[in-house]
Structure 1
């Protein structure tokens, strides 16, 4: 982010940016996020679903999230490759579904890019429910990672106990809606109510991917207000053909009316970033 802001400054381009962290290094991450927000003007913080195998609800990250709470932070979470515990100094990829299409890791160098391929695309669907790293997918692998990290945040208490943090959840939660009820069953009524309150009032759900054909219906079944839905494209990680499919799915979705669709594309994000971005 530092390089980007400095590169854009001579061109007088005014664009909003998110701070990135140095997690799993907590103290360094707090320092970097504070610098990015106070000095570079970052309007939010971008995390991945897991950082070197540690998901966001990990107790080691408690001081970091305490600082996010103090900052009233907007935290964007994106899925990443799921990792097993470190074994002999090596992280093992938890990607058993090797027969599915591969995901793409795009490394930018100047104006050029190099694409590397990795296995286990399907796993990304669950990782949003837990955490993320710095590897981005072109397909459904995202959704599992989304689900894993947000269930992790809820079961650890981070989600519901730190009430000043707003979260942007990609891919309208990925596979999260399908596992919420079973994941929180058996907890106290008060805790379950607090978890659902967080999902209803402090989670903002972006549309990245072809999520409005059917998937959005599962999220709205939890009485999530359409006023907390945001537009997300996943560009440049997905090809233009997929962007067209995703946009068409929104336009024809039976789950929202035209006013709600227009608010999802513009008004909702203005409300989230009120006072942080000049629209």
Structure 2
């Protein structure tokens, strides 16, 4: 793109307090190193990649870093969520046209997550929340999370779902972002759909990372087997209808093989631009942008909608006046 027009819904922030917390515990993001970050570097990347605005989020493993389920671990997660959310809010406040923010929530503590969501959305002005696909093996369709989904639905909130390492060992020599993350996005999306989250809470808007993992490609496998063998009280059309309520970002997913499946499955207006910077280096952004910019089968106006228009509908404060 010649001008900075894109709205990037999958761009990460690395608050120093979060990076230090990970380092203190010897953690990283699923075997992926934590990169350096600054607002200046982010803006420089955005200018080069045609990105007007990035909606920032903390990536996996999120803010619940301790493996134990103790009260102290929950308290530490709540404090870390508050710290990273305030850092993100300050960044967006300092650069209001360039950055938005998704607030981190300290799940699996639902009461603390509700408290932090209210603070982040009402006081800090967050543009939505980011939820990690699983926390300690608990996925987002877990019945214990019903109060959180109900509140997010009441607010018609935008929810960005970022994958995590699933509860299994890493594939030898392979960091989780390479393969396991696309699997875990799919896993949590199916968990949400089969547990009725999407059918009960119809005002919340849920964005799945990385083109939805392999959900678009395998959606009719999920719907057909659910309706015929797992839950015969639901039709295949019911399941597909729920799965089609998801939104999808293009981070690491704009390619000649994935775009046809994604665009064939996603509802109109449900595909959004994403970069995954800085965890995906700028060279990766250039690689996938080239596929997006040269894709031959977009409908008229579809490329601009993916780059900007669809995100404007979710985040009206970033909308530009129509010329």
TM class by shorter chain equals 0.7 to 0.9
Structure 1 equivalent of residue 81 of structure 2? none
**How far apart, CA to CA, are the structure 2 residues paired with 1:76 and 1:32?**
16
SS at match of 2:242: helix
Structure 2 equivalent of residue 24 of structure 1? 108
Q: TM-score, normalised by structure 1?
A: 0.75
Larger RCO: Structure 1 or Structure 2 (Cα < 8 Å, ≥ 6 residues apart)? 2
Structure 1 equivalent of residue 198 of structure 2? 159
Structure 2 equivalent of residue 65 of structure 1? 149
Q: 1:236 to 1:96 in 2, by over 3 A?
A: closer
Q: TM-score, normalised by structure 2?
A: 0.65
Structure 2 residues without counterparts, runs of 5 or longer: 1-84
Q: 1:163 to 1:211 in 2, by over 3 A?
A: same
**How far apart, CA to CA, are the structure 1 residues paired with 2:90 and 2:314?**
26
Q: Does residue 1:215 correspond to 2:258, yes or no?
A: yes
SS at match of 1:236: coil
Q: Is residue 219–residue 243 contact of structure 2 (8 Å, CA) maintained in 1?
A: no
Structure 1 residues without counterparts, runs of 5 or longer: 84-93, 103-120, 122-136
Pick from 203, 206, 211 the counterpart of residue 172 of structure 1: 211
Q: Is residue 77–residue 167 contact of structure 1 (8 Å, CA) maintained in 2?
A: yes
SS at match of 1:57: coil
Greater per-residue helix proportion: 2
Q: Does residue 1:33 correspond to 2:117, yes or no?
A: yes
Instruction: Work out the number of aligned pairs and report it.
Output: 230
Structure 2 equivalent of residue 182 of structure 1? 221
**How far apart, CA to CA, are the structure 2 residues paired with 1:143 and 1:203?**
15
Q: 1:71 to 1:192 in 2, by over 3 A?
A: farther
Pick from 235, 238, 248 the counterpart of residue 205 of structure 1: 248
Deviation of the 1:48 alpha carbon: 0.7
Q: Does residue 1:75 correspond to 2:119, yes or no?
A: no
Q: Is residue 37–residue 44 contact of structure 1 (8 Å, CA) maintained in 2?
A: yes
Deviations 1:11-53 (A, max 9, x none): 4645321121010000000000011001111111110100121
Structure 1 equivalent of residue 50 of structure 2? none
**How far apart, CA to CA, are the structure 2 residues paired with 1:220 and 1:159?**
20
Q: Is residue 89–residue 125 contact of structure 2 (8 Å, CA) maintained in 1?
A: no
Which residues of 2 match residues 126-137 of structure 1 at below 5 A?
Answer: 137=177
RMSD between aligned residues: 2.2
Structure 2 equivalent of residue 195 of structure 1? 239
Q: Does residue 1:269 correspond to 2:308, yes or no?
A: no
Which residues of 2 match residues 134-149 of structure 1 at below 5 A?
Answer: 137=177, 139-149=178-188
Deviation of the 1:236 alpha carbon: 0.7
SS at match of 1:167: strand
**How far apart, CA to CA, are the structure 2 residues paired with 1:178 and 1:189?**
24
